[in-house]
A and B are shown apart, each in its own frame.
Chain A
């Protein structure tokens, strides 16, 4: 480490004011602060500071995402080898998934961070860490077969138009990863929904070659129930891609077709535990999303007319992006309500709207993305009313004493 420090000190003058590479200062600074804690000391105000900084916060979120990412990768392999009817070892499945997902992660990071670095450079600011999380979220919420160029275009669009035009990390109104997904969803609907996109049937870099078996169907469980002809939930059964029945435990552990991040409820819960224990994610938001969902489902169940309206609440929580959205998307502090009371309302309405979209919109069985984006827009309004109560109460106090 000492040699590295010496090297950094040696090249630093090139990047400082007057140096040849001064136009790359933000980039240099990003790498230096990644390697070493900056030794700038306080000039005004408090003389001591908490050890937690923006980097630490983002790293914790990434850590919380890792279980879901790993299980998701394994599931990509599992579904693939099921589809081509081959029985292979655990590690082979995982490795196949890793190879399939890694290029997407690389593309999302290279494009997103590239734009962030360039803009920080132009604004002569430090590079903010926000995209470290968005960059890993994006591959986790898109279908595994999304072409890389689409991810690149959508990421660029989201980073520029959903974040940087508003002023960068901390100022955006909508969740960047969800805007990426929404962009893909509305631009390339055929690649984002339906039966063909959730399971990778082709080989990855020559690995896992094979023909798809007869009777294969790649529909997600939510897709199945949204399009079913069954009259009620009791006449309906979820099935896997080879037609095998799906149990609740398959849904809980994540052995179903779906986006990489959303399939394993267990891994998401593990992430939730990390976020709550470290205080990085708000348990109030998470809990209230589930409460909102519960209330909505119970309401819909009470006057159910078809299978999806009859579907019990635990299926809603286990399937699709409900849990993933509640834990990792709704809790994004920048786009969420910022007051504590506001978080209860914000989360509750996300759960409510998500279920409403799922149940009443058969063309689009996944409601979480739109519900969160919708509530992102309303978060400032919710905060406005929470804060207004405080303002009124202060004004009243002043009026009484006069």
Chain B
């Protein structure tokens, strides 16, 4: 019986547009784009030129600081464009995909017979290392560092999040291979967290891991919250974090000898006519699943990821590297609501009690619904922040960039996503995730 931890603080935002549990097929696009900005902390150096032919699993670019850390192409084809933005920053690498994917052969390898070094090298070589992230700083893990433990979150509690049971259907063997590989990478333990609702055998009966059940609202599924409750990160320690679906991708590499970056992606959101699940590789253009399937006549916001932590994309944008979810909500810039401060409209949702609450699901748009202010209301962040940390004081120390205070208040334990709900409920409409991200980046620069 798994250890169970009850999470009381948090918030389930009742949004319209949860994905129907039906697999609607595989989506492919002519072009596939990989955006280096997804891989936080990485300075990309190109490994290909325009017109180079690549196979799935061959590197498109690598990290300047760790040249052994490659980033795989999810498809085979020809590199057609390397789009650069300001200061020649690479925006994306575009590959024109073959109609059938040719995979680079890495050879099937039984995990049990490999050493830790061989496993690490295999993952790095195959261009999949980006799936492993690290705390502190919430960046792609530094392969040279020894992790104290590895934490895997086996469920997602974000609004409209895909059902982990469903997206991992059929990957029991890959998951176990992935867990076995991770177990070799650390002298500590591999912790897997699941929710009481998870029935997936690959998770519930996983071997070689310490399973903990987390019961509660979002952000119970955030790995940061789980770490804080199981074994918090201290100054000087490094731990690695992954999602269960990413563990399966690593397992696939060892079981099948190929890099298959296929994800089962939930199409969600109030503006989607027919929700459901699609299979696609990362970097796939999403216009084919949006076309004719979203509300017309209003301006829309397309998000790769969930409405709290996802990235804004265009209507012809691509699935970003870490996402198992695509969301479409109204943009709301064409809405002019009169006297919002006096409104009792049932369309307005608030986690607090200054609005009447209705037992229904809401269609929320991307408006801030207020202007930015200084932090005024107290105990607002704490209510949705189930960690042994004072969120407001930590935010203030980050704004002041007081390194000592940040360390004392637990900066090493948090990632921007942990502050997503705080940002949602914030009366002062501050960009908390951006503040935390900037703070972590500056701190990393100072410390490393």
Residues of A within 8 A of B427 (CB): 50, 52-54, 56-57
Q: Are B390 and A39 in contact (CB under 8 A)?
A: no
Shortest CB distance A129–B (Å): 8
8 A Cβ contacts from B349-387 to A: 349-355, 364-379, 382
Q: Does B122 contact A (CB under 8 A)?
A: no
Query: Of the 9-residue stretches B70-78, B205-213, B336-344, which lies at the interface with chain A?
Result: B336-344
8 A Cβ contacts from A299-346 to B: 333-334, 336, 338-340
* Given A1-B338, A41-B366, A387-B393, A54 and B424 contact (CB-CB distance below 8 Å): no
Residues of B within 8 A of A401 (CB): 234, 237
Residues of A within 8 A of B120 (CB): none
A92 CA / B374 CA spacing, docked (Å):
44
Count A-B contacts at CB 8 Å: 212
Query: Of the 9-residue stretches B108-116, B243-251, B307-315, which lies at the interface with chain A?
Result: B307-315
Residues of B within 8 A of A234 (CB): none
| Chain B contact residues: helix, strand, loop or mixed | loop
Chain A residue at minimum C-beta to C-beta distance from B388: A390
B303, B335, B354: the one within 8 Å of A39 (CB): B335
Q: Does A79 contact B (CB under 8 A)?
A: no
Q: Does B262 contact A (CB under 8 A)?
A: no
Residues of A within 8 A of B423 (CB): 45-46
Q: Does A279 contact B (CB under 8 A)?
A: yes
* Given A35-B338, A39-B335, A169-B376, A54 and B352 contact (CB-CB distance below 8 Å): no
A383 CA / B393 CA spacing, docked (Å):
10
What are the interface flags for A123-135 relative to B under an 8 Å C-beta threshold, 1 for contact and 0 otherwise?
A: 0001011100000
A397 CA / B236 CA spacing, docked (Å):
12
Q: Are A126 and B376 in contact (CB under 8 A)?
A: no
Residues of B within 8 A of A60 (CB): 354
Q: Are B368 and A36 in contact (CB under 8 A)?
A: no
Q: Are B375 and A50 in contact (CB under 8 A)?
A: no
Interface size range on A against B: 35 or more
Shortest CB distance B231–A (Å): 9
Interface size range on B against A: 35 or more
Residues of A within 8 A of B368 (CB): 38, 40-42, 49
What are the interface flags for B386-421 relative to A under an 8 Å C-beta threshold, 1 for contact and 0 otherwise?
A: 001110110000000000000011100000100010
Q: Are B374 and A169 in contact (CB under 8 A)?
A: yes
Residues of A within 8 A of B348 (CB): 51
Q: Are A36 and B371 in contact (CB under 8 A)?
A: no
Q: Are B310 and A44 in contact (CB under 8 A)?
A: no
Most chain B CB atoms below 10 A, which of A37, A60, A128, A171:
A37
Q: Does A5 contact B (CB under 8 A)?
A: yes
Chain B: residues with CB nearer than 8 A to chain A? 13, 15, 159, 232, 234-237, 301, 303, 307-310, 312, 327, 329, 331-343, 348-355, 364-379, 382, 388-390, 392-393, 408-410, 416, 420, 423-429, 431-434
